[in-house]
Structure 1
């Protein structure tokens, strides 16, 4: 909660308070003239950067209730401003409050307009603050602030008249279910020097409300009087309940406690703390509502002060975030150093254990690097080297769909393009041997890719005797199933019935073999696979 100066302006004088650490302190008074303005500026000179709020309690405060067409957006705002200027042309301090809509008809907006009709009382003070570049946060009205007071106290009666004792006199404000409708300020002392009878003034206010049709005959006006506890017995004798009036009295100290307000007078003889002024000032400083009356350019230094404060807050936030980031980085650095030390200690232990294990082992045939290279070569041969398993799997899948074919023999080999047919002489036992060997091609290790492979399939067809048409069809179907595999070339080397002109047609149909069994239709396929 920010510290600030809280000023209370009446028709006679201005009282300055300080809101500091949730308490209202001070109570210095200044006359409503040029000397009083100079004294106020001297009073604020030590704390010029502290914002100021001004609470006005003036007789020249007017309230008007209007019904305006319900218009929203920018057009509605312009309509409201035009109506305010038409209603109060002579003052810049204007205020409007939309209090709902009519239940029937066009459902127009119910608007309460208010203004300080005598700006000459307020302008000298606010212009002096602006000239000295003192930030003025807002201009407030005790009447409009009492609407917030009524809601805080839970006084939401259908017809409520709030009577408060203030330095300017007795303020009587009329509310309907918590909404302000009318207010008047009567002096505490009449022209003869006698104290004003609060009951009589309440009756006058009730008669006025009835005449303007705010208060219907037969209704009960709940009147709540807030005053110092010592004055309540005298006020009770002045205010008697009637058929249309019911009085309730609330001690000022009890109301301040219910609102959680703390007020301390600067001097023992300062009587301002015994009035509702200090309570309203403390409520204003604690709740910090938006300014009731517009100040226009007179509020510029407060806007600059608020922008400067926000920049300070932003800079502080950035500094805190940067400090946290630096702290986190330092903590992570310390943690990384601890982990590095632990890892170094573990590495030393592993090295020691490795050396102990290696010292207990017999002498090695070769170095560790060579053994690692041999393992890598072995894994590469397993993964990249040629193998008959792929082609055998294809043949096996085709045989599953051709149960009448029986496999007799497989011949697998690797096709190494460009491999020489004869090898160069090699040294055997230190001398040149008569035999030659062919150097192994890198394709056998799968470098740079797997080499082409071929598979010769020799099989026979279990079909009825002399049914060569069925045997040829079965072989063709088997070959087509194998040819469905990608990158697999199928060639018929020897069909079941060889009808080529270059081949001699031999044998007899149905001839029995030496063992007494019929001959089978055999065929041979050459498969070539390019991975």
Structure 2
């Protein structure tokens, strides 16, 4: 139990807590010296709890006005001015705007205040002495308005009757604009006169509504009675006591408080009207209605403290996560280091084992010769083998300057290993050690316009001249674009219509790159 609800009436202050079943009465303090002393001692023992104060007093006034549709700071300024105009003498006042939701319209302003607050001031002063947190100050009428708005949004006019304590009858009249008035009737009577007293209060409430022009003389008054099961059988007796007025009164008894609680989203274990009020404040939570900011300072400090605590817990959790991450990274680093050391040790063991094997079984002369030949092959041939990437890259640079030529195929060939050496100084039947590094390019392509014979020849000659500037390059043209017949001019279209058959090239150029010892062909 963290929150205490204090019900303030003209006779007593009642303390209630919320259990798992319903509202739990804790203590009752009458408005006398003994009750005040007991209350102060009691709150000292419960200073760590939070308190909600619910007033059920006669001295609660309500006003209703129509104001221009405003928003933001202008609306707050107007509400403060209206409150100061109507309820200047009390700090326990409240303004609520029912917006018209359109610019240029008019809003409904509900003003309410606790006009006599001596008992409330004393209770708040006692709570301030022990630095108890005050969640808010509420009234039964405004809490009833919240319930009714949740039960029947946009409800028609109705008089709501409730009984929070024996001998008290709260009557609140609601319209679609909200609460218009609320009055508390107190009487001391026997059980057999309750129906007559209740009927009398209904008649007086009807007359008051007609005085305020909220009810016509022949209009039916709809009454919604939130009574416990003990008062529900009085329905027929009240109608009988109303006499002729009973024809203009329609009473709806809400005796099933559990069903009402379920409709309000509250625990279904509520069985009394007091249970509903306590559950509204403790279980659901309702914003403050009347308490000034100075009264709620310890509650605000509690909220701030909880936020700081939650922030500290969140920071601690983040720090723990960070520490765990760092620890995991350290352990993972140690694991990777140990794994690397194991791999290094395994390689070292293999090296040592290989060294021991070499020492124990030395190579023969033939094996040493074969190993030397393999190493010589690696140095002389494999590492210096011709590569096609530099050659084709050089060819692409040449073709960038000749956009009129379209290359369809480039064949890259190398010399044959073991070819016979040629030349005056070559020994007979001896292989040429570098002939296999020679490269041959067969370049096939088409010209842009086959009918423009001179332009085609010029483009091919430009390509040949560019290729002849390569070091150690021998260029020969195996086919020139000489076919100027009409059949050749329609060859591309015929190739497309023939299912993509390969098109005959316009020119074929052979480029031979001779490798010379001591010169890197790729670096030329």
Bucket of the pairwise TM-score, normalised by the shorter protein = 0.5 to 0.7
The equivalent of 1:303 in structure 2 is 300
In the TM superposition, what is the alpha-carbon distance from 1:485 to its structure 2 partner? Answer: 8.2
- Please show how residues 366-381 of structure 1 align to structure 2 within 5 Å: 381=384
Distance change in 2, residues 1:4/1:483 (3 Å): farther
In the TM superposition, what is the alpha-carbon distance from 1:263 to its structure 2 partner? Answer: 7.2
The equivalent of 2:106 in structure 1 is 108
Distance in 1 (alpha carbons) for counterparts of 2:45 and 2:349 = 76
Distance change in 2, residues 1:178/1:162 (3 Å): farther
Distance change in 2, residues 1:248/1:488 (3 Å): same
The equivalent of 2:135 in structure 1 is 137
In the TM superposition, what is the alpha-carbon distance from 1:484 to its structure 2 partner? Answer: 6.3
- What do residues 81-132 of structure 1 show as CA deviations (whole Å, max 9, x unaligned)? 11111110110011111124399x9621111110001122311111221232
Of 270, 277, 281, the residue aligned with 2:278 is 281
- Please show how residues 112-191 of structure 1 align to structure 2 within 5 Å: 112-154=110-152, 157-167=155-165, 169-177=168-176, 179-189=178-188
- What do residues 143-168 of structure 1 show as CA deviations (whole Å, max 9, x unaligned)? 00001222344486412211111227
Distance in 2 (alpha carbons) for counterparts of 1:263 and 1:16 = 19
Of 250, 259, 264, the residue aligned with 1:246 is 250
Distance in 2 (alpha carbons) for counterparts of 1:27 and 1:343 = 71
Gaps of 5+ in 2: 407-436, 441-453, 474-512, 514-520
The answer on whether the counterparts of 1:22 and 1:286 sit within 8 Å (CA) in structure 2 is no
Distance in 2 (alpha carbons) for counterparts of 1:6 and 1:383 = 95
The answer on whether the counterparts of 1:150 and 1:178 sit within 8 Å (CA) in structure 2 is no
The equivalent of 2:224 in structure 1 is 224
Helix, strand or coil for the counterpart of 2:319? helix
* Structure 1 vs Structure 2 CA RMSD: 5.4
Distance change in 2, residues 1:490/1:477 (3 Å): farther
Normalised TM-score (structure 1): 0.64
- Please show how residues 232-381 of structure 1 align to structure 2 within 5 Å: 232-239=232-239, 242-251=246-255, 253-254=257-258, 257-258=261-262, 259=264, 260-261=266-267, 276-327=273-324, 365=368, 381=384
- What do residues 481-518 of structure 1 show as CA deviations (whole Å, max 9, x unaligned)? 45668997999xxxxxxxxxxxxxxxxxxxxxxxxxxx
Helix, strand or coil for the counterpart of 1:14? strand
The answer on whether the counterparts of 1:226 and 1:250 sit within 8 Å (CA) in structure 2 is yes
Distance in 1 (alpha carbons) for counterparts of 2:376 and 2:110 = 95
The answer on whether the counterparts of 1:99 and 1:109 sit within 8 Å (CA) in structure 2 is yes
Distance in 2 (alpha carbons) for counterparts of 1:3 and 1:315 = 22
Distance in 2 (alpha carbons) for counterparts of 1:66 and 1:318 = 50
Normalised TM-score (structure 2): 0.64
Distance in 2 (alpha carbons) for counterparts of 1:275 and 1:475 = 109
Helix, strand or coil for the counterpart of 1:121? helix
Distance change in 2, residues 1:489/1:375 (3 Å): closer
Gaps of 5+ in 1: 265-273, 403-444, 446-454, 456-471, 492-525
- What do residues 407-457 of structure 1 show as CA deviations (whole Å, max 9, x unaligned)? xxxxxxxxxxxxxxxxxxxxxxxxxxxxxxxxxxxxxx9xxxxxxxxx9xx
Distance in 2 (alpha carbons) for counterparts of 1:84 and 1:70 = 17
The answer on whether the counterparts of 2:67 and 2:109 sit within 8 Å (CA) in structure 1 is yes
